[in-house]
Structure 1
Amino acid sequence: MDEIPAYELFEIREPASHTIPFVYNSPHSGRIYPPEFIAQSRLQGISIRRSEDHYVDELFSAAGALGAPLLLANFPRAYLDVNREPYELDPRMFDGLLPSYANINSLRVAGGLGTIPRIVAENMEIYARRLPVQEALDRVEAVYKPYHAALRRLIARTHVQFGFGVLIDCHSMPGNIRVAGATSRPDFIIGDRYGTSASAELSRMAVSIFEEMGFAAIRNKPYAGGFITEHYGRPSRGLHALQIEINRSLYVDEVTLERRADFPLVVAAITSFMRQMADYVAKFAGDTALAAE
């Protein structure tokens, strides 16, 4: 875990030339922890890092070489989660009254995983005491809104340049994930909000690519996609959003958070996935299932 007093909240890693209609986004791989946040937390060391999507930015690092931008968070998910509505806030966490427009009743808030999370994985409470309401609002203004503004610009640019666009929202999931009715744990889950955020052809192709590489891949269960996938996916307008969840046990030791020896092999598999998805979309760029009608 890096701890430095000042840093860029997020990065846009631009390709030398934007040649494919894709935008890659890694909102939960940030691992720079503000010292003031650490001072507020009852958790330290590896414990506070349990909610990271560990090294997902590195897994998708070939985006630029393939011709697509990669947006990645440097701030940690435990500090603020951009894969939520802007004001999914738990009133139990704060001193003072939240604004009337705050969504205090969502299932994610109830589970402790709102825009300002109350817990990290394994239900570990983050904060030693309540936070001022203004701090939550300040984080939304300083972190959440600039991040989404950057993501919107990338998506809009892609849409204008190519006539359609594909957002790949990149995440990881615990290695002990269970899927009802399945006999084995999935290596990858592709989420398309049950067909509402991307064309079925696109999500089926994503699953097929991983299966042909020998991985276990499924769609939507139990992760169909979060706020980002739902908010930006507009297939009728030629804007498709897929969420990809990668089983962490493939590439990281979930106890020590060290990269496994197979880490380069997983990077290579994901790079192949990205390349094959780009090739697939190029073949069907004029198809109304992908392009705006």
Structure 2
Amino acid sequence: MSPVTVVRGTSPIVLAQPHSGTFVPADICAKLTERGAMLADTDWHIPQLYDGLVPQATVVRAEFNRYVIDANRPPDGASLYPGQNTTGLVPLVDFENRPLWHEEPDENEIARRREAFHAPYHAALRAELDRVRAAHGFAVLYDCHSIRSRLPFLFQGTLPDLNIGTNGGATCGQAIERAAAIACANGPYSYVVNGRFRGGWTTRHYGHPGKNIHAIQMEIAQSTYLQSEETPFTFSPDKAADLRDTLAEIFDGIESTFGDLT
């Protein structure tokens, strides 16, 4: 299986999907604990949730699971949130602080996975951003994420439904952040801008408005579109339909800013 799938479109929008993959090579899967083999921290059904919302968007999707290696972490493994609980480049514990491995990967194994999975994903993403920017004069990277709404190891209480991350406004033009926030405010969901999730490595690494690449992360509480936030993490078409209405408004708002980006 190829580690990354690319669907090319003609829109200025690139949808990055680094955490929706469920592929784990057999040799790696054999080292996972029973808990780890559940892949509970996957961004479940993200491709289905976003399918068709931006018909001509380019999609760059990691097919490998984040337990293999996390495509939204810096390749050197530096923490994105110093002083806060988080998981690393190759996570050793899950989002409930439970061990993932019978045999933890050593530095050589992490380097092997970085070359086989992390690097190809980001090479593909960089290539598509460069292609889209060349075609339009700018590119908008929208990083698609979701997470369970209650995870005490990572954050207190219940996460807002929609979590916009721009690293304090540094990764995209103010008009894009504002348009996304207005669309969220007009909908039925709770939201926050640059709260617990301010944008991962993808958003921070590629988002350079001065270089005409704007990046924004959307972290969605899975309670908004799953039947239950427990295995088997079943998709809820009814919940998702309502959520897709709000997501469509977000994209409409982002697209309304394009005239100011050229």
The alignment's TM-score, normalised by the length of structure 2, stands at 0.88
Does 1:23 find its partner at 2:14? yes
Partner Cα distance (1:270, 1:213) in 2? 6
Distance 1:183 1:109, change over 3 A: closer
Corresponding residue for residue 83 of structure 1: 72
Which protein shows a greater Rg? 1
Distance 1:266 1:54, change over 3 A: farther
**Do the aligned residues in 2 keep the contact of 1:112 with 1:119 (CA within 8 Å)?**
no
Would you identify which runs of 4 or more consecutive aligned residues in structure 1 move more than 4 Å?
105-112, 182-185
Corresponding residue for residue 42 of structure 1: 33
**Do the aligned residues in 2 keep the contact of 1:59 with 1:270 (CA within 8 Å)?**
no
Distance 1:60 1:166, change over 3 A: same
The alignment's TM-score, normalised by the length of structure 1, stands at 0.79
Partner Cα distance (1:206, 1:130) in 2? 40
Letter in 2 for 1:27: P
**Do the aligned residues in 1 keep the contact of 2:184 with 2:250 (CA within 8 Å)?**
no
Unaligned runs of 5+ in 2: none
**Do the aligned residues in 2 keep the contact of 1:60 with 1:267 (CA within 8 Å)?**
no
Shift of 1:215: 1.9
Distance 1:185 1:126, change over 3 A: closer
Distance 1:261 1:66, change over 3 A: closer
Structure 2 counterpart SS, 1:115? coil
Instruction: Write the deviation string for residues 58-104 of structure 1: whole angstroms up to 9, x where unpaired.
Output: 111115x621111111100111001111121xxxxxxxxxxxxxx5x
Partner Cα distance (1:223, 1:110) in 2? 11
Partner Cα distance (2:238, 2:149) in 1? 15
Letter in 1 for 2:238: D
Unaligned runs of 5+ in 1: 1-6, 89-102
**Do the aligned residues in 2 keep the contact of 1:60 with 1:270 (CA within 8 Å)?**
no
| Pairing 1:1-293 to 2, within 5 Å after superposition | 7-15=1-9, 18=10, 20-44=11-35, 48-62=38-52, 66-88=55-77, 103=78, 111=85, 113-176=87-150, 185-252=159-226, 253-256=228-231, 257-266=233-242, 268-269=244-245, 272-273=248-249, 275-277=251-253, 279-282=255-258, 285=259, 287=260, 290-291=261-262
Shift of 1:23: 0.5
Report the number of matched residues.
257
Partner Cα distance (2:235, 2:106) in 1? 37
Shift of 1:113: 1.6
Percent identical among aligned pairs is: 27
**Do the aligned residues in 1 keep the contact of 2:180 with 2:254 (CA within 8 Å)?**
no
